[in-house]
Amino acid sequence: MAAGIFKTIFLALPKGFYTTIKHLFKKPVTFQYPKEKVEMAPRYKGLHYFEVYDDGTDRCVCCGLCAAACPADAIYMEPAENEKGERYAKVYEINLLRCIFCGYCEEACPEEAIFLGHEYEFSNDNRDSFIYPKYAMLDNRPKERFKKIYRKNRRVQ
């Protein structure tokens, strides 16, 4: 009994005080979250966004490969054609409650139209707001462009 008290008072307490004093003079590692945002890793897969051509037209031709590749069946789309005969996605929705953020939709897209960004703040208290429509994905594009995108010329028969 006496040996346990001796170890506690003369060994453990000074060791704990030393650790406390040692960290007292170090720079704090806490982030002030709403004001300071943590930079995510380059491979982080966050909220989806759509890419457009430089002339503002959608890159998505609604081929359906992203929906077929999605293991969670979270993508719904309806195709349409414009006056030139080019296909585009009239309706494109992603159910974020079902999405597992695997990135298969990004890999399957032949037009490089859909990407998973680095946005991680998309909590909400309404389930309907987790159905992510096309206009929200267009608004979610990153501010800086990594490369210039040129539109491919296609012949319409």
Which has the closest alpha carbon to 44: 115, 105, 123?
115
Could you give the angle at the alpha carbon of 105 between the alpha carbons of 39 and 47, nearest 5°?
A: 30
Query: What are the boundaries of each domain within the chain?
Result: 48-139
pLDDT tens sequence for the chain (157 residues)? 666 777 777 788 888 889 999 988 888 888 888 888 888 888 899 999 998 888 888 899 999 999 999 999 999 999 999 898 889 999 999 999 999 999 999 999 999 899 998 888 888 999 999 999 999 999 888 876 555 555 555 544 4
What pLDDT, on a 0 to 100 scale, did the predictor assign at position 148? 54
Q: Which CATH architecture does the domain made up of 48-139 adopt?
A: 2-Layer Sandwich (3.30)
